[in-house]
Amino acid sequence: MRCFVVVGQNATATGDFLLQDIPGTSGRLDIGLRCVRAALLLSHGVRRDAVVYLVLRGGPRAPRVLRISGARAHFIRPDERSLAVLARKVLAYDVGGAAREFVEVRAGVAVANGDLDRVIADVGAATLYVLEESGPDLRGAVGLEDAPSAFILGDHLGLDEATRARLGEVGARPLGVGPLSVHAEDAIAIALNELDRRDAQEKEGERLSP
Ligand SMILES: C[S@@+](CC[C@H](N)C(=O)[O-])C[C@H]1O[C@@H](n2cnc3c(N)ncnc32)[C@H](O)[C@@H]1O
């Protein structure tokens, strides 16, 4: 299982934004939506072993977490507007103020109250990595291909100090995807490309071994 966690510092936790201006009215939820596409969608198919968590810290119902699971999701479309429509429907659902568990509102798409710790609890024993520009190159990371793993990313504002501190407490390992700061969705694509290559090498090794 490969999990990608995108922390949206101001991203709206309600469905209350305009489809005509998603970046300008949603606290940059558009960044998270593009990460959903990058993490879940192949050219012709869905990565069934991938899960995306959007940590939404903006608006009156924040913090909440939107979870999209490749294993169960249907009709995930690649364009931002369709993903925004889906997010809006799911975020309109009221899980109740006290509820802590994820509630599946559409196939494979769930929402929960809570912040990063809700995600950490949900990914269970996954190895945690924090993707950051200053991190050691993921190409040299030993055991990266060992699933389950969870990669945490920031949005256009990056990760705040409190989030970094919490990730340090739970032992998240920093990793970089290259020398330049790229968009979060591109960092996911690069990380997945490295994982895909390692998987392909492993399969080739198994095929060739007697
Ligand atoms: C656009 S960047 C954030 C830029 C923000 N201005 C900052 O200073 O943190 C969005 C996220 O993508 C990820 N990212 C971008 N470039 C990266 C790199 N070279 N290595 C690892 N992660 C990267 C990080 O998680 C980052 O928080």
pLDDT band at 99 (very low <50, low <70, confident <90, very high): low
Residue 209 has a pLDDT of 78
pLDDT surpassing 70 at residue 71: yes
Q: Which atom of ligand 1 is nearest to the CA of 183?
A: 1
Q: Any residues with Cβ below 6 Å from ligand 1, and which?
A: 131-133, 135, 153-154, 156, 158-159, 176-178, 180-184, 187
Secondary structure string (H, E, C) spanning the chain: CEEEEEEEEEEECCCCCCHHHHHHHCCCHHHHHHHHHHHHEECCEECCCEEEEEEEEECCCCCEEEEEECCCCCCCCCCHHHHHHHHHHHHCCCCCCCCCCCEEEECCEEEEECCHHHHHHHHCCCEEEEECCCCCEHHHCCCCCCCCEEEEEEECCECCHHHHHHHHHCCCEEEECCCCCCCHHHHHHHHHHHHHHHHHHHHHHHHHCC
pTM for this entry: 0.96
Residue pLDDT, tens place only, 14-44 = 989 999 999 999 999 999 999 999 999 999 9
Residue 96 has a pLDDT of 79
Q: Which atom of ligand 1 is nearest to the CA of 159?
A: 27
Closest C-alpha to ligand 1, atom 5: 158
What Cα–Cα distance (Å) separates residue 145 from each residue in 42, 49, 141, 186, 195? Answer: 19, 13, 9, 19, 6
Instruction: Give the mean model confidence (pLDDT) for residues 90-106.
Output: 86
Ligand 1 centroid to residue 6 C-alpha, Å: 11
Q: In whole angstroms, what is the distance from residue 197 CA to residue 134 CA?
A: 23
Residue pLDDT, tens place only, 138-161 = 999 999 988 799 999 999 999 999
pLDDT band at 89 (very low <50, low <70, confident <90, very high): very high
Ligand 1 centroid to residue 80 C-alpha, Å: 20
Residue 206 has a pLDDT of 78
Ligand 1 centroid to residue 48 C-alpha, Å: 25
